[in-house]
Structure 1
Amino acid sequence: MDTRRIPFKIGQPKKQIISKTVERDFEREYGKLQQLEDQTKKLQKHMKKSTEADLAMSKSAVKISSDLLSNPLCEQDPVFLAMVTALDTAMKRMDAFNQEKVNQIQKTVTDPLKKFSSVFPSLNMAVKRREQSLQDYKRLQSRLEKYEEKEKSGPVLAKLHQVREELRPVREDFEAKNKQLLEEMPKFYNSRIDYFKPSFEALIRAQVVFYTEMYKIFGDLTEQIDEPGLTDEQREEENEAKLNELRALSIVADD
Protein backbone atom coordinates (compact mmCIF):
# COMPACT_ATOMS: atom_id res chain seq x y z
CA MET A 1 0.00 0.00 0.00
CA ASP A 2 1.17 3.57 -0.69
CA THR A 3 3.24 4.91 2.23
CA ARG A 4 1.51 8.29 2.00
CA ARG A 5 -1.09 6.98 4.44
CA ILE A 6 1.43 5.84 7.11
CA PRO A 7 3.16 9.00 8.39
CA PHE A 8 3.96 7.53 11.82
CA LYS A 9 6.00 4.61 13.12
CA ILE A 10 3.55 2.78 15.33
CA GLY A 11 4.54 0.37 18.12
CA GLN A 12 2.56 -2.84 18.36
CA PRO A 13 0.91 -3.74 21.66
CA LYS A 14 0.51 -7.43 22.46
CA LYS A 15 -3.26 -7.21 22.24
CA GLN A 16 -4.69 -7.14 18.72
CA ILE A 17 -6.73 -3.93 18.87
CA ILE A 18 -7.76 -3.93 15.20
CA SER A 19 -8.40 -7.09 13.23
CA LYS A 20 -6.34 -7.93 10.18
CA THR A 21 -9.56 -8.18 8.19
CA VAL A 22 -10.57 -4.63 9.07
CA GLU A 23 -7.08 -3.34 8.33
CA ARG A 24 -7.04 -5.13 4.97
CA ASP A 25 -10.47 -3.68 4.14
CA PHE A 26 -9.24 -0.22 5.04
CA GLU A 27 -6.06 -0.53 2.98
CA ARG A 28 -7.98 -1.90 0.00
CA GLU A 29 -10.53 0.92 0.01
CA TYR A 30 -7.97 3.65 0.54
CA GLY A 31 -5.70 2.12 -2.10
CA LYS A 32 -8.53 2.39 -4.61
CA LEU A 33 -8.94 6.07 -3.77
CA GLN A 34 -5.21 6.71 -4.12
CA GLN A 35 -5.33 5.12 -7.56
CA LEU A 36 -8.38 7.23 -8.42
CA GLU A 37 -6.56 10.38 -7.31
CA ASP A 38 -3.54 9.54 -9.50
CA GLN A 39 -5.76 8.76 -12.49
CA THR A 40 -7.72 11.99 -12.05
CA LYS A 41 -4.52 14.05 -11.95
CA LYS A 42 -3.19 12.31 -15.08
CA LEU A 43 -6.47 12.91 -16.87
CA GLN A 44 -6.34 16.60 -15.92
CA LYS A 45 -2.80 16.84 -17.26
CA HIS A 46 -3.62 15.10 -20.54
CA MET A 47 -6.81 17.11 -21.09
CA LYS A 48 -4.81 20.32 -20.64
CA LYS A 49 -2.20 19.14 -23.15
CA SER A 50 -4.91 18.09 -25.60
CA THR A 51 -6.78 21.41 -25.56
CA GLU A 52 -3.54 23.39 -25.76
CA ALA A 53 -2.47 21.32 -28.78
CA ASP A 54 -5.88 21.79 -30.42
CA LEU A 55 -5.67 25.57 -30.06
CA ALA A 56 -2.07 25.66 -31.25
CA MET A 57 -3.02 23.63 -34.33
CA SER A 58 -5.86 25.90 -35.46
CA LYS A 59 -3.91 29.09 -34.65
CA SER A 60 -0.99 27.80 -36.72
CA ALA A 61 -3.32 26.96 -39.61
CA VAL A 62 -4.71 30.52 -39.55
CA LYS A 63 -1.16 31.94 -39.45
CA ILE A 64 -0.13 29.85 -42.47
CA SER A 65 -3.09 30.97 -44.58
CA SER A 66 -2.52 34.58 -43.48
CA ASP A 67 1.16 34.40 -44.46
CA LEU A 68 0.22 32.97 -47.85
CA LEU A 69 -2.21 35.82 -48.46
CA SER A 70 0.55 38.35 -47.87
CA ASN A 71 2.91 36.49 -50.22
CA PRO A 72 3.63 38.40 -53.49
CA LEU A 73 2.77 35.22 -55.40
CA CYS A 74 -0.93 35.86 -54.69
CA GLU A 75 -0.70 39.27 -56.38
CA GLN A 76 0.70 37.67 -59.52
CA ASP A 77 -1.73 34.74 -59.76
CA PRO A 78 -5.47 35.52 -59.35
CA VAL A 79 -6.39 31.83 -59.38
CA PHE A 80 -3.94 31.09 -56.57
CA LEU A 81 -5.18 34.17 -54.69
CA ALA A 82 -8.77 32.87 -54.82
CA MET A 83 -7.63 29.49 -53.57
CA VAL A 84 -5.65 30.94 -50.66
CA THR A 85 -8.49 33.30 -49.77
CA ALA A 86 -10.87 30.33 -49.58
CA LEU A 87 -8.32 28.49 -47.41
CA ASP A 88 -7.93 31.49 -45.11
CA THR A 89 -11.70 31.74 -44.64
CA ALA A 90 -11.92 28.02 -43.89
CA MET A 91 -9.03 28.16 -41.37
CA LYS A 92 -10.61 31.09 -39.53
CA ARG A 93 -13.92 29.22 -39.34
CA MET A 94 -12.08 26.16 -38.06
CA ASP A 95 -10.29 28.21 -35.41
CA ALA A 96 -13.56 29.76 -34.23
CA PHE A 97 -15.25 26.37 -33.86
CA ASN A 98 -12.12 24.96 -32.21
CA GLN A 99 -12.10 27.75 -29.63
CA GLU A 100 -15.77 27.07 -28.94
CA LYS A 101 -15.04 23.37 -28.50
CA VAL A 102 -12.15 24.04 -26.11
CA ASN A 103 -14.29 26.42 -24.05
CA GLN A 104 -17.00 23.77 -23.82
CA ILE A 105 -14.51 21.11 -22.76
CA GLN A 106 -13.09 23.48 -20.14
CA LYS A 107 -16.54 23.95 -18.57
CA THR A 108 -17.80 20.38 -18.81
CA VAL A 109 -14.62 18.29 -18.36
CA THR A 110 -11.56 20.20 -17.14
CA ASP A 111 -13.29 22.24 -14.42
CA PRO A 112 -15.18 19.21 -13.00
CA LEU A 113 -11.90 17.25 -12.94
CA LYS A 114 -10.26 20.07 -11.02
CA LYS A 115 -13.13 20.23 -8.51
CA PHE A 116 -13.05 16.46 -8.03
CA SER A 117 -9.29 16.54 -7.39
CA SER A 118 -9.76 19.24 -4.76
CA VAL A 119 -11.55 16.72 -2.51
CA PHE A 120 -8.54 14.40 -2.11
CA PRO A 121 -6.43 16.58 0.24
CA SER A 122 -9.26 16.56 2.79
CA LEU A 123 -9.71 12.82 2.39
CA ASN A 124 -5.98 12.19 2.82
CA MET A 125 -5.99 14.38 5.92
CA ALA A 126 -8.87 12.35 7.39
CA VAL A 127 -6.77 9.20 6.87
CA LYS A 128 -3.79 10.82 8.59
CA ARG A 129 -5.98 11.77 11.54
CA ARG A 130 -7.18 8.17 11.71
CA GLU A 131 -3.54 6.99 11.72
CA GLN A 132 -2.65 9.46 14.48
CA SER A 133 -5.60 8.22 16.50
CA LEU A 134 -4.49 4.63 15.94
CA GLN A 135 -0.98 5.49 17.14
CA ASP A 136 -2.38 7.08 20.31
CA TYR A 137 -4.60 4.03 20.83
CA LYS A 138 -1.66 1.61 20.48
CA ARG A 139 0.58 3.71 22.70
CA LEU A 140 -1.94 3.75 25.54
CA GLN A 141 -2.77 0.07 25.03
CA SER A 142 0.95 -0.76 25.38
CA ARG A 143 1.13 1.28 28.60
CA LEU A 144 -1.94 -0.50 29.91
CA GLU A 145 -0.44 -3.91 29.20
CA LYS A 146 2.79 -2.99 31.01
CA TYR A 147 0.89 -2.03 34.16
CA GLU A 148 -1.30 -5.12 33.91
CA GLU A 149 1.85 -7.29 33.97
CA LYS A 150 3.13 -5.67 37.18
CA GLU A 151 2.25 -6.71 40.72
CA LYS A 152 -0.99 -5.07 41.74
CA SER A 153 0.28 -2.62 44.34
CA GLY A 154 -1.60 0.55 45.24
CA PRO A 155 0.37 2.83 42.89
CA VAL A 156 0.13 0.31 40.04
CA LEU A 157 -3.64 0.01 40.46
CA ALA A 158 -3.90 3.79 40.46
CA LYS A 159 -1.91 3.94 37.23
CA LEU A 160 -4.03 1.18 35.74
CA HIS A 161 -7.16 3.17 36.47
CA GLN A 162 -5.62 6.35 35.06
CA VAL A 163 -4.47 4.68 31.81
CA ARG A 164 -7.84 2.97 31.37
CA GLU A 165 -9.56 6.34 31.71
CA GLU A 166 -7.18 7.86 29.18
CA LEU A 167 -7.60 4.92 26.84
CA ARG A 168 -11.40 4.94 26.67
CA PRO A 169 -11.90 8.23 24.72
CA VAL A 170 -8.90 7.50 22.51
CA ARG A 171 -10.30 4.07 21.62
CA GLU A 172 -13.73 5.55 20.93
CA ASP A 173 -12.20 8.30 18.80
CA PHE A 174 -10.27 5.79 16.68
CA GLU A 175 -13.24 3.46 16.29
CA ALA A 176 -15.42 6.38 15.18
CA LYS A 177 -12.85 7.61 12.65
CA ASN A 178 -12.22 4.09 11.38
CA LYS A 179 -15.93 3.33 11.00
CA GLN A 180 -16.63 6.60 9.22
CA LEU A 181 -13.83 6.07 6.70
CA LEU A 182 -14.77 2.45 6.05
CA GLU A 183 -18.34 3.55 5.33
CA GLU A 184 -17.60 6.67 3.31
CA MET A 185 -14.56 5.66 1.24
CA PRO A 186 -16.49 3.08 -0.84
CA LYS A 187 -19.33 5.59 -1.33
CA PHE A 188 -16.89 8.23 -2.55
CA TYR A 189 -15.18 5.76 -4.89
CA ASN A 190 -18.47 4.51 -6.35
CA SER A 191 -19.68 8.08 -6.89
CA ARG A 192 -17.01 8.62 -9.55
CA ILE A 193 -19.19 7.01 -12.24
CA ASP A 194 -22.20 9.28 -11.76
CA TYR A 195 -19.88 12.28 -11.39
CA PHE A 196 -17.74 11.76 -14.48
CA LYS A 197 -20.28 10.23 -16.85
CA PRO A 198 -21.88 13.61 -17.81
CA SER A 199 -18.42 15.10 -18.37
CA PHE A 200 -17.27 12.37 -20.72
CA GLU A 201 -20.59 12.43 -22.57
CA ALA A 202 -20.10 16.18 -23.02
CA LEU A 203 -16.54 15.59 -24.26
CA ILE A 204 -17.75 13.12 -26.89
CA ARG A 205 -20.55 15.47 -28.01
CA ALA A 206 -18.14 18.41 -28.26
CA GLN A 207 -15.84 16.38 -30.49
CA VAL A 208 -18.75 15.17 -32.64
CA VAL A 209 -20.06 18.72 -33.12
CA PHE A 210 -16.58 20.02 -33.95
CA TYR A 211 -15.75 17.36 -36.54
CA THR A 212 -19.21 17.63 -38.07
CA GLU A 213 -18.54 21.33 -38.60
CA MET A 214 -15.07 20.53 -39.96
CA TYR A 215 -16.66 18.19 -42.50
CA LYS A 216 -18.88 21.05 -43.66
CA ILE A 217 -16.06 23.60 -43.72
CA PHE A 218 -13.69 21.43 -45.71
CA GLY A 219 -16.53 20.28 -47.93
CA ASP A 220 -17.18 23.92 -48.83
CA LEU A 221 -13.46 24.47 -49.35
CA THR A 222 -13.26 21.45 -51.63
CA GLU A 223 -16.07 22.81 -53.81
CA GLN A 224 -14.23 26.14 -54.16
CA ILE A 225 -10.83 24.75 -55.10
CA ASP A 226 -11.64 21.34 -56.57
CA GLU A 227 -10.83 21.92 -60.20
CA PRO A 228 -9.27 19.41 -62.61
CA GLY A 229 -5.55 19.63 -62.17
CA LEU A 230 -2.38 17.68 -61.56
CA THR A 231 -2.27 14.58 -59.40
CA ASP A 232 -0.03 14.56 -56.34
CA GLU A 233 2.49 12.44 -58.24
CA GLN A 234 2.48 14.90 -61.15
CA ARG A 235 2.95 17.84 -58.78
CA GLU A 236 5.85 16.05 -57.14
CA GLU A 237 7.48 15.46 -60.51
CA GLU A 238 6.91 19.07 -61.52
CA ASN A 239 8.37 20.37 -58.29
CA GLU A 240 11.40 18.14 -58.67
CA ALA A 241 11.92 19.41 -62.23
CA LYS A 242 11.71 23.04 -61.07
CA LEU A 243 14.12 22.29 -58.21
CA ASN A 244 16.61 20.76 -60.63
CA GLU A 245 16.41 23.92 -62.72
CA LEU A 246 17.21 25.99 -59.62
CA ARG A 247 20.10 23.72 -58.71
CA ALA A 248 21.54 24.32 -62.17
CA LEU A 249 21.86 28.04 -61.53
CA SER A 250 25.42 29.22 -60.99
CA ILE A 251 24.59 30.97 -57.71
CA VAL A 252 23.68 27.64 -56.03
CA ALA A 253 26.26 25.50 -57.80
CA ASP A 254 28.65 23.55 -55.57
CA ASP A 255 32.18 24.92 -55.27
Structure 2
Amino acid sequence: MSWTGVKKAINRAGTQVLVKAGQVEATVDTEFEFEEKRYRTMQSHSRKLHSELKYYLDTLRRLESAQLSVAKALSSYYGQQQGEKPKSLAQEYFAALEKTHDEVAKALETPYHQTVLNPVARFNSYYIEIDEAIKKREHKRLDYDALRSKVQKLIDRPDEEEKLKDTEQQLGGAREVYEKLNGELKHELPRFTNLRIPFFDPSFEAFARLQMRYFRENYESLAQLETKLDAQTRQDYMDGTLDSRLDSCLAKMRELQA
Protein backbone atom coordinates (compact mmCIF):
# COMPACT_ATOMS: atom_id res chain seq x y z
CA MET A 1 0.00 0.00 0.00
CA SER A 2 1.33 3.46 -0.93
CA TRP A 3 1.68 6.30 1.58
CA THR A 4 -1.40 7.92 0.07
CA GLY A 5 -3.29 4.69 0.62
CA VAL A 6 -2.11 4.54 4.23
CA LYS A 7 -3.31 8.11 4.87
CA LYS A 8 -6.71 7.32 3.35
CA ALA A 9 -7.04 4.21 5.51
CA ILE A 10 -6.22 6.21 8.64
CA ASN A 11 -8.69 8.96 7.73
CA ARG A 12 -11.44 6.43 7.04
CA ALA A 13 -10.79 4.68 10.34
CA GLY A 14 -11.06 8.06 12.07
CA THR A 15 -14.34 8.79 10.29
CA GLN A 16 -15.73 5.42 11.42
CA VAL A 17 -14.90 6.29 15.02
CA LEU A 18 -16.60 9.69 14.70
CA VAL A 19 -19.68 8.10 13.11
CA LYS A 20 -19.98 5.64 15.99
CA ALA A 21 -19.55 8.51 18.44
CA GLY A 22 -22.30 10.46 16.69
CA GLN A 23 -19.99 13.32 15.70
CA VAL A 24 -20.32 12.61 11.97
CA GLU A 25 -23.66 11.85 10.34
CA ALA A 26 -23.55 8.62 8.33
CA THR A 27 -25.12 8.35 4.90
CA VAL A 28 -27.83 5.68 5.01
CA ASP A 29 -29.35 3.93 1.99
CA THR A 30 -32.00 1.44 3.14
CA GLU A 31 -32.40 -0.01 -0.36
CA PHE A 32 -28.71 -0.87 -0.52
CA GLU A 33 -28.76 -2.29 3.02
CA PHE A 34 -31.67 -4.55 2.10
CA GLU A 35 -29.94 -5.87 -1.03
CA GLU A 36 -26.64 -6.36 0.79
CA LYS A 37 -28.41 -8.36 3.51
CA ARG A 38 -29.99 -10.62 0.86
CA TYR A 39 -26.59 -11.01 -0.78
CA ARG A 40 -24.86 -11.89 2.51
CA THR A 41 -27.53 -14.48 3.32
CA MET A 42 -27.09 -16.12 -0.08
CA GLN A 43 -23.31 -15.99 0.29
CA SER A 44 -23.49 -17.80 3.63
CA HIS A 45 -25.88 -20.45 2.32
CA SER A 46 -24.00 -21.18 -0.90
CA ARG A 47 -20.66 -21.50 0.90
CA LYS A 48 -22.25 -23.91 3.36
CA LEU A 49 -23.78 -25.80 0.42
CA HIS A 50 -20.35 -26.29 -1.16
CA SER A 51 -18.94 -27.46 2.16
CA GLU A 52 -21.78 -29.96 2.67
CA LEU A 53 -21.50 -31.29 -0.89
CA LYS A 54 -17.79 -31.95 -0.35
CA TYR A 55 -18.59 -33.60 2.98
CA TYR A 56 -21.18 -35.82 1.26
CA LEU A 57 -18.62 -37.13 -1.23
CA ASP A 58 -16.07 -37.67 1.55
CA THR A 59 -18.73 -39.55 3.55
CA LEU A 60 -19.44 -41.86 0.61
CA ARG A 61 -15.73 -42.60 0.37
CA ARG A 62 -15.59 -43.44 4.09
CA LEU A 63 -18.70 -45.62 3.78
CA GLU A 64 -17.14 -47.55 0.90
CA SER A 65 -13.93 -47.96 2.85
CA ALA A 66 -15.83 -49.26 5.90
CA GLN A 67 -17.86 -51.68 3.74
CA LEU A 68 -14.72 -53.03 2.11
CA SER A 69 -13.01 -53.45 5.48
CA VAL A 70 -15.95 -55.41 6.89
CA ALA A 71 -16.25 -57.50 3.71
CA LYS A 72 -12.53 -58.24 3.78
CA ALA A 73 -12.74 -59.33 7.42
CA LEU A 74 -15.68 -61.63 6.61
CA SER A 75 -13.87 -63.05 3.60
CA SER A 76 -10.78 -63.75 5.71
CA TYR A 77 -12.94 -65.35 8.38
CA TYR A 78 -14.27 -67.84 5.83
CA GLY A 79 -10.73 -68.57 4.71
CA GLN A 80 -10.39 -67.29 1.16
CA GLN A 81 -6.83 -66.97 -0.08
CA GLN A 82 -5.83 -64.04 -2.25
CA GLY A 83 -6.48 -64.81 -5.91
CA GLU A 84 -8.60 -67.83 -5.03
CA LYS A 85 -12.07 -68.21 -6.53
CA PRO A 86 -14.81 -67.29 -3.97
CA LYS A 87 -16.20 -70.36 -2.16
CA SER A 88 -18.68 -68.72 0.24
CA LEU A 89 -21.31 -66.01 0.19
CA ALA A 90 -19.10 -63.78 2.35
CA GLN A 91 -16.29 -64.11 -0.15
CA GLU A 92 -18.64 -63.33 -3.03
CA TYR A 93 -19.86 -60.32 -1.03
CA PHE A 94 -16.30 -59.04 -0.77
CA ALA A 95 -15.72 -59.59 -4.49
CA ALA A 96 -18.96 -57.75 -5.33
CA LEU A 97 -18.01 -54.76 -3.16
CA GLU A 98 -14.53 -54.61 -4.67
CA LYS A 99 -16.06 -54.52 -8.13
CA THR A 100 -18.59 -51.88 -7.07
CA HIS A 101 -15.80 -49.74 -5.62
CA ASP A 102 -13.65 -50.06 -8.73
CA GLU A 103 -16.44 -49.42 -11.23
CA VAL A 104 -19.34 -47.55 -9.62
CA ALA A 105 -17.63 -45.39 -6.99
CA LYS A 106 -14.78 -44.29 -9.23
CA ALA A 107 -17.23 -43.53 -12.05
CA LEU A 108 -19.06 -41.20 -9.64
CA GLU A 109 -16.06 -38.99 -8.81
CA THR A 110 -15.46 -37.20 -12.11
CA PRO A 111 -19.08 -36.31 -12.98
CA TYR A 112 -19.70 -35.29 -9.36
CA HIS A 113 -16.86 -32.78 -9.54
CA GLN A 114 -17.76 -31.58 -13.03
CA THR A 115 -21.52 -31.17 -12.58
CA VAL A 116 -21.94 -30.52 -8.84
CA LEU A 117 -18.87 -29.33 -6.93
CA ASN A 118 -17.12 -27.27 -9.61
CA PRO A 119 -20.18 -25.20 -10.65
CA VAL A 120 -20.96 -24.34 -7.02
CA ALA A 121 -17.31 -23.42 -6.41
CA ARG A 122 -17.32 -21.25 -9.55
CA PHE A 123 -20.43 -19.40 -8.37
CA ASN A 124 -18.83 -18.85 -4.96
CA SER A 125 -15.70 -17.44 -6.60
CA TYR A 126 -17.72 -14.44 -7.82
CA TYR A 127 -18.13 -13.29 -4.22
CA ILE A 128 -14.52 -12.11 -4.11
CA GLU A 129 -15.03 -9.44 -6.77
CA ILE A 130 -18.41 -8.37 -5.40
CA ASP A 131 -17.05 -8.11 -1.86
CA GLU A 132 -14.30 -5.85 -3.17
CA ALA A 133 -16.89 -3.59 -4.81
CA ILE A 134 -18.90 -3.41 -1.56
CA LYS A 135 -15.73 -2.63 0.36
CA LYS A 136 -14.87 0.13 -2.12
CA ARG A 137 -18.38 1.54 -1.81
CA GLU A 138 -17.96 1.68 1.98
CA HIS A 139 -14.64 3.53 1.59
CA LYS A 140 -16.22 6.08 -0.76
CA ARG A 141 -19.14 6.53 1.64
CA LEU A 142 -16.73 7.30 4.48
CA ASP A 143 -14.84 9.79 2.27
CA TYR A 144 -18.13 11.46 1.34
CA ASP A 145 -19.36 11.62 4.96
CA ALA A 146 -16.04 13.04 6.16
CA LEU A 147 -16.08 15.83 3.54
CA ARG A 148 -19.75 16.56 4.22
CA SER A 149 -18.99 16.97 7.91
CA LYS A 150 -15.99 19.15 7.10
CA VAL A 151 -18.09 21.44 4.88
CA GLN A 152 -20.70 21.85 7.62
CA LYS A 153 -18.00 22.94 10.05
CA LEU A 154 -16.42 25.39 7.57
CA ILE A 155 -19.79 27.05 6.86
CA ASP A 156 -19.71 28.45 10.40
CA ARG A 157 -16.28 30.04 9.80
CA PRO A 158 -16.46 33.17 7.61
CA ASP A 159 -12.67 33.45 7.53
CA GLU A 160 -12.38 30.02 5.84
CA GLU A 161 -14.25 30.93 2.66
CA GLU A 162 -11.52 29.80 0.27
CA LYS A 163 -11.07 26.54 2.11
CA LEU A 164 -14.84 26.07 2.09
CA LYS A 165 -15.00 26.43 -1.72
CA ASP A 166 -12.18 23.93 -2.17
CA THR A 167 -13.78 21.44 0.23
CA GLU A 168 -17.20 21.83 -1.42
CA GLN A 169 -15.58 21.02 -4.75
CA GLN A 170 -14.01 17.91 -3.22
CA LEU A 171 -17.39 17.03 -1.71
CA GLY A 172 -19.07 17.22 -5.11
CA GLY A 173 -16.53 14.82 -6.57
CA ALA A 174 -16.82 12.45 -3.60
CA ARG A 175 -20.63 12.48 -3.84
CA GLU A 176 -20.50 11.67 -7.54
CA VAL A 177 -18.11 8.74 -7.02
CA TYR A 178 -20.11 7.36 -4.09
CA GLU A 179 -23.52 7.69 -5.74
CA LYS A 180 -22.27 6.09 -8.97
CA LEU A 181 -20.85 3.06 -7.17
CA ASN A 182 -23.81 2.86 -4.80
CA GLY A 183 -26.26 2.95 -7.72
CA GLU A 184 -24.38 0.25 -9.63
CA LEU A 185 -24.40 -2.06 -6.62
CA LYS A 186 -28.12 -1.51 -5.97
CA HIS A 187 -28.75 -2.52 -9.57
CA GLU A 188 -26.34 -5.48 -9.77
CA LEU A 189 -26.74 -7.09 -6.33
CA PRO A 190 -30.38 -8.18 -6.83
CA ARG A 191 -29.57 -9.38 -10.35
CA PHE A 192 -26.76 -11.55 -9.01
CA THR A 193 -28.86 -12.83 -6.11
CA ASN A 194 -31.67 -13.81 -8.47
CA LEU A 195 -29.25 -15.80 -10.64
CA ARG A 196 -28.79 -18.39 -7.91
CA ILE A 197 -31.81 -20.49 -8.93
CA PRO A 198 -31.14 -20.88 -12.69
CA PHE A 199 -27.43 -21.33 -11.94
CA PHE A 200 -27.82 -24.02 -9.27
CA ASP A 201 -30.78 -25.94 -10.74
CA PRO A 202 -28.67 -28.03 -13.18
CA SER A 203 -26.29 -28.97 -10.35
CA PHE A 204 -29.17 -30.03 -8.11
CA GLU A 205 -30.56 -32.20 -10.91
CA ALA A 206 -27.13 -33.73 -11.53
CA PHE A 207 -26.72 -34.38 -7.79
CA ALA A 208 -30.04 -36.25 -7.62
CA ARG A 209 -29.30 -38.28 -10.75
CA LEU A 210 -25.82 -39.25 -9.53
CA GLN A 211 -27.28 -40.35 -6.20
CA MET A 212 -29.89 -42.50 -7.95
CA ARG A 213 -27.28 -44.06 -10.21
CA TYR A 214 -24.84 -44.75 -7.37
CA PHE A 215 -27.34 -46.43 -5.05
CA ARG A 216 -29.14 -48.27 -7.86
CA GLU A 217 -25.92 -49.86 -9.11
CA ASN A 218 -24.89 -50.73 -5.55
CA TYR A 219 -28.28 -52.33 -4.98
CA GLU A 220 -28.15 -54.29 -8.24
CA SER A 221 -24.69 -55.59 -7.36
CA LEU A 222 -25.74 -56.81 -3.92
CA ALA A 223 -29.17 -58.04 -5.05
CA GLN A 224 -27.44 -60.71 -7.14
CA LEU A 225 -26.21 -62.28 -3.90
CA GLU A 226 -29.72 -62.60 -2.49
CA THR A 227 -30.53 -65.55 -4.73
CA LYS A 228 -27.55 -67.40 -3.24
CA LEU A 229 -28.79 -67.15 0.34
CA ASP A 230 -29.95 -70.32 2.02
CA ALA A 231 -33.60 -70.88 0.99
CA GLN A 232 -34.81 -71.55 4.54
CA THR A 233 -32.96 -68.49 5.84
CA ARG A 234 -34.59 -66.33 3.18
CA GLN A 235 -38.02 -67.68 4.02
CA ASP A 236 -37.50 -67.20 7.75
CA TYR A 237 -36.34 -63.65 7.11
CA MET A 238 -39.43 -62.89 5.04
CA ASP A 239 -41.72 -64.53 7.63
CA GLY A 240 -40.02 -62.75 10.51
CA THR A 241 -39.05 -66.04 12.19
CA LEU A 242 -35.29 -65.74 11.75
CA ASP A 243 -34.94 -64.29 15.25
CA SER A 244 -36.69 -67.38 16.65
CA ARG A 245 -34.13 -69.62 14.96
CA LEU A 246 -31.31 -67.60 16.47
CA ASP A 247 -32.92 -67.72 19.93
CA SER A 248 -33.29 -71.50 19.61
CA CYS A 249 -29.63 -71.82 18.69
CA LEU A 250 -28.56 -69.72 21.68
CA ALA A 251 -30.79 -71.77 24.01
CA LYS A 252 -29.09 -74.99 22.89
CA MET A 253 -25.67 -73.41 23.51
CA ARG A 254 -26.74 -72.49 27.05
CA GLU A 255 -27.85 -76.10 27.63
CA LEU A 256 -24.38 -77.28 26.65
CA GLN A 257 -22.85 -74.93 29.22
CA ALA A 258 -25.15 -76.18 31.99
**Alignment TM-score, normalising by the size of structure 1:** 0.79
Choose which of 235, 238, 243 in structure 2 pairs with 1:233.
243
1:200 is matched with: 204
122-131 or 237-246, larger mean C-alpha shift = 237-246
1:184 is matched with: 188
SS at match of 1:68: helix
1:3 is matched with: none
Say whether the 8 Å CA contact 1:13–1:139 is kept in structure 2: no
Per-residue CA distance 1:148-182 (angstroms, 9 max, x = gap) = 2233x4xx221111101221221111011101111
Question: Distance in 2 between the 1:118 and 1:239 partners?
Answer: 62
User: Is 2:149 the counterpart of 1:145?
Assistant: no
Question: Distance in 1 between the 2:99 and 2:152 partners?
Answer: 77
Question: Distance in 2 between the 1:72 and 1:224 partners?
Answer: 16
SS at match of 1:53: helix
- Within-5 A mapping of 1:241-252: 241=251, 244=254, 248=257
Per-residue CA distance 1:95-135 (angstroms, 9 max, x = gap) = 23133224322221112222222222322221111111111
SS at match of 1:70: helix
Question: Distance in 2 between the 1:216 and 1:172 partners?
Answer: 66
Choose which of 213, 218, 223 in structure 1 pairs with 2:222.
218
Q: How large is the Cα RMSD of the aligned pairs?
A: 2.8
1:103 is matched with: 110
Q: 1:189 to 1:239 in 2, by over 3 A?
A: farther
Say whether the 8 Å CA contact 1:74–1:81 is kept in structure 2: yes
What are structure 1's unaligned runs of at least 5 residues? 1-5, 250-255
Choose which of 86, 89, 92 in structure 1 pairs with 2:92.
86
Question: Distance in 2 between the 1:244 and 1:99 partners?
Answer: 47
Aligned structure 1 segments of 4 or more residues deviating by more than 6 angstroms: none
Question: Distance in 2 between the 1:10 and 1:207 partners?
Answer: 55
What are structure 2's unaligned runs of at least 5 residues? 1-11
SS at match of 1:225: coil
Question: Distance in 2 between the 1:130 and 1:56 partners?
Answer: 45
**Alignment TM-score, normalising by the size of structure 2:** 0.79
Question: Distance in 1 between the 2:252 and 2:65 partners?
Answer: 31
200-209 or 88-97, larger mean C-alpha shift = 88-97
2:127 is matched with: 120
